[in-house]
Amino acid sequence: MSRYHPGHGQREHRGSAPTRRGFARPSDAADEPRTGPLILEEKTTETTSSAGPEDQQLKVFNNPYASLNIQQQRIRLPIFKNRGHILYMCERYRTLIIVGETGCGKSTQVPQFLLEFGWADDGRQIAITQPRRVAVVTLATRVAEETDTLLGHNIGYTVRFDDVSDEATKVKFMTDGLLLREILQDPMLSKYSIIMIDEAHERSCNTDILLGLLRKIMQVRNDLRIIVSSATLDAELFRDFFEMNETGNPEKDTAAILSVEGRTHPVAVHHTKTPVPNYCQAAVDTVINIHKHEMPGDILVFLTGQDEVEDVCEKLREEARKLRNCDKLWVVPCYGALPASEQMKAFDSTPHGTRKVVVATNIAEASITIPGICYVIDTGYVKLRAVNANNGVESLMRVTVSQASAEQRAGRAGRIRPGKCYRLYPESEFRKFSEGTIPEIQRCHLAATILQLKALGVQNVHKFHYLSPPPSWSMIQGLELLYALGAIDESSQLTDPLGLQMAEFPLPPMHSKCLLKSAEFGCSDEIVTIVAMMQIQDVFLTPFRARHQADIIRKKFSVEEGDHMTMLNVFTKFVENGRSKKWCSDHFVNYRGLMRADNVRSQLVRLLKRFEIPKVSCRGLINASENIRQCLVTGFFSQAAQYHYTGKYMTVKENFPFNVYKGSSIMFKKDYPKWVIFTEVMQDSIRDVTVIEPEWLYELAPHYYEFGTEGELAEKRMRGGQ
């Protein structure tokens, strides 16, 4: 490959325009937005969306570059003037760290620079990883459009349960988890000439493990190049991790940093004077206030999860119907569980006489750039997974965002013109936020991560080269669970076939254990449905103005054995009614979620067939419910709980108290069941609960539980101590 030298005028850029924050009434340019045309940085699609205003052509009114061709639009992105530098540094160094704000164009343009310069010639491929599937799909779609190719050929993507690529694909976007799975088949990733790890600052478990494995692969493959892309200034951490020069001579450095200037305008940040009692309602009120009194420009609202997003969207649509003498309001949800076609609507161009409101989770914080945003509403919260060191249970917790995340959110408003960010919390609270988010590998249950590492040939997981080492107690808990599940033996080796097969499933270990044992209980057809349904966040919808009616319908679906049997019931009725969207709407069931579960189910059925696990059903049998629930116990025995007279459930392990999630099927029972297993924890509540018999724990997990009265167990322990 010939060497590319940067031309004159190319230089490294460090730092970016600071965001402004903490104003009661800011006096900067953000108070008087420009009245000229807005600049749309990256328009992903222009297709008409059914979710948008009816009978209106989706015409871009705020893009002065609309008359330019794709290549002319590319040149105007901030990253483009660094093209020569990037290509030169990819040849000069083995690892390049690119720091650039989200929206500067690095995610769409760097892959094209590499493709144009020949990094995908001679049958080689370019890989770009993202931590989130929504970013994978939107970026691949945009790059295919810019390169004027059909998506799935030269430009393709792969996410869990969905592969849109072929043998001719030269640039492949994928989640970092999918690249990890490719390493299972090709440990040296031999078909890739260069791999770009995008949005590395999110620090997911998969990202951290992938970085460690790539560092290991680079010690064997001198020809492999790595690009690590980050939107925050943690570049030195990545550079030091990949630096292989031990001579002290800087001319022999193998890793370098390139900072790219963004196109950032001032953002005036407003805080509330006091904490708001209900941030969802406060977000709705703030949107309406902006719409009535502020200049044109789209709004981005940050919430914590799918349920909040859908609830706020419904409230906003209801408020929009009341509006008089102002532009229309187009409300669009955006969260990870949405089907790809629904996610893309957030990127559709806003029609004349309309303001778009994108109501999103933190996927809109850095993973994607939504065009046209001028106003941001930050509730100050995010949902993160964290494991409790005392009981080993991982829960999805709502916590305050970090200061770095809050600044990222505010920056969304300054991409196309001076913007405004409305923080629904006082500035004094902002100062109490942590500076950054703890990496996922240091706060989550590591069973799935360890299982992956074992499958990838890493025998001593304690000595693996981690970017940020996980706590030892978390590592021990992960190993203990895998041993209890039968995935590893006493020497911490993967068992054959169970452990090896569990590692093949793109699922948490407890889920895959249930699937692999399902045929033994004669219910593989039912368990594959339940496991697929467990991959979606919410089965039922609870509209703001129809809560009572929705609860009545939900009660009809609910069965006394618990939530997993209820999931099976809902999916069965969904299929029997032709997968009808209207049926879902009439019964307050999540149509988008069920369609995704249907797709996941098809993929899991193929995996079971590959492992020669027969498809058998227990439908119609007298003991059908018992068989299904016993099969669930084989995977979730470690998450068993007993009802306590205080009204809480106490976990069998460590005697830890939990409430029952308000939407659980067992809430409709007259009396709470005495024994349950649970598969999800949110804050201090267990959800996805199934009723069990206590003897099943001893019968199906005798290695994990002792069984008997308190007196018998005490006597047994005394004898064991003698």
Report DSSP state, residue 274: S
Q: At what angle do helices 563-576 and 524-533 cross, to 10 degrees?
A: 100
Task: Give the helix/strand (H/E) hosting 176.
Answer: helix 176-185
For residue 42, how far is the Cα from the chain centroid? 22
Domain ranges for the chain, please list them.
36-42+77-260, 267-441, 445-504, 505-700
Q: Are 380 and 429 in contact (CB under 8 A)?
A: yes
How confident is the model at residue 474, as a pLDDT?
93
How confident is the model at residue 713, as a pLDDT?
57
- The CATH code of domain 36-42+77-260 reads 3.40.50.300
Q: 257: helix, coil or strand? A: strand
Please name which of 68, 652, 661, 106 lies closest in space to residue 368, comparing C-alpha atoms: 106
CA distance 478 to 168: 40
Name, in order, each residue with C-beta under 8 angstroms of 397's C-beta and a sequence gap of 6 or more.
383, 384, 385, 386, 682, 683
Q: Are 213 and 186 in contact (CB under 8 A)?
A: no
Contacts 24+ apart (CB under 8 A), 34-39: 34/417, 34/418, 35/295, 37/62, 37/63, 37/64, 38/62, 38/63, 38/296, 38/297, 38/372, 38/374, 38/416, 38/417, 39/63, 39/64, 39/65, 39/416, 39/417
How confident is the model at residue 692, as a pLDDT?
98
Strand arrangement, sheet containing 225-230:
162-164, 155-159, 171-175, 125-130, 192-197, 225-230, 95-100, 255-260
CA distances from 197 to 107, 130, 201, 722 (A): 10, 7, 10, 56
pLDDT in tens, 551-569: 888 888 999 999 999 999 9
Low-confidence ranges of the chain (pLDDT < 50): 1-64, 722
Please name which of 224, 205, 200 lies closest in space to residue 214, comparing C-alpha atoms: 224
Name, in order, each residue with C-beta under 8 angstroms of 512's C-beta and a sequence gap of 6 or more.
501, 502, 505, 635
How confident is the model at residue 31, as a pLDDT?
36
Q: Are 642 and 648 in contact (CB under 8 A)?
A: no
Opening angle at CA 316, ends 313 and 319, nearest 5: 155
For the domain made up of 267-441, give the CATH fold: Rossmann fold (3.40.50)
Please name which of 437, 343, 427 lies closest in space to residue 382, comparing C-alpha atoms: 437
How confident is the model at residue 231, as a pLDDT?
76
- Count the Cβ atoms, other than its own, within 10 Å of residue 36: 8
How confident is the model at residue 103, as a pLDDT?
72
Q: 691: helix, coil or strand? A: strand
Q: At what angle do helices 524-533 and 624-636 cross, to 10 degrees?
A: 60
Identity of the residue numbered 72 = Q
Length of the chain: 722
- Count the Cβ atoms, other than its own, within 10 Å of residue 702: 10
- The CATH code of domain 505-700 reads 1.20.120.1080
